[in-house]
Amino acid sequence: MPPRIPPETLAQAKGRGESRLRQVCAQLSFPPGAAVLSSLATSDVVPWQCLARYPQLCQGVTFVDVDFPDLMAEKRRIVSETLALSAPLTNLELCETSPVLLRSREYCQIGCDLRQLHVLELALSEVVPLGDAELFFLGEVSLAYLDASSADAIIRKSTLVIGAD
């Protein structure tokens, strides 16, 4: 069973300084092959902070950002045009015809409305072996923007995919 995500997630810790970010990364102790899924992640820089500052804690981990397609398309443009963001990513591929907009070994982007869980699950299966990988879902803010039934569906689905109680 995957470890529980501590009450303070990566997104919350990033505002508390580098030592707290490192502490949370170490506390999660990502196993090789794990994926960290961050929703409403258009301006999130946690993947680059973790990869740059704590590479030993992130070996074999894939960070996956999910947001609305038009917002993620803009983030894809920014990442692909900014050397500081694209250089750390190996096997970088820009995708045009899939909800998966950008793919690398360390980081992927999915353009998807979270209310379309079937689209999200299909896209995730393209970048992460869902049956084998441990998923860490960071969605504390995104759920607040959804209607209650959509938020409940995401929680139920993430519980099934992640394998939590």
* Mean pLDDT rounded to a whole number for the chain: 75
Q: Provide the pLDDT for residue 23.
A: 64
How many CB atoms are located within 10 Å of the residue 13 CB? 21
Q: What is the CA radius of gyration of the chain?
A: 15
The rounded Cα 134 to chain-centroid distance in angstroms is: 12
Annotated domain spans of the chain: 10-162
Residue 95 has a pLDDT of 92
Average pLDDT, integer, range 6-24: 51
Give me the phi and psi of 46, to 5 degrees please: -55, -40
Tens digits of residue pLDDT in 26-78: 666 667 777 777 776 666 777 888 888 888 888 888 888 988 899 899 999 99
Query: Residue 142's pLDDT is what?
Result: 65
Query: What average pLDDT does this structure show over 141-161?
Result: 68
Give the class (CATH, top level) of 10-162.
alpha beta
pLDDT tens-digit series, residues 76-115: 999 999 999 999 999 999 998 789 999 999 999 999 888 8
Mind giving me the DSSP string for the chain?
A: -PPPPPSS-HHHHGGG-HHHHHHHHHHH-PPTT-EEEEES-TT--HHHHHHHH-GGGSTT-EEEEEE-HHHHHHHHHHHHH-HHHHTT-TT-EE-SSSSEEEE-SSEEEEE--TT-HHHHHHHHHHHS-TTT--EEEE-TTGGGGS-HHHHHHHHHHHHHHHT--
Stated length of the chain = 165
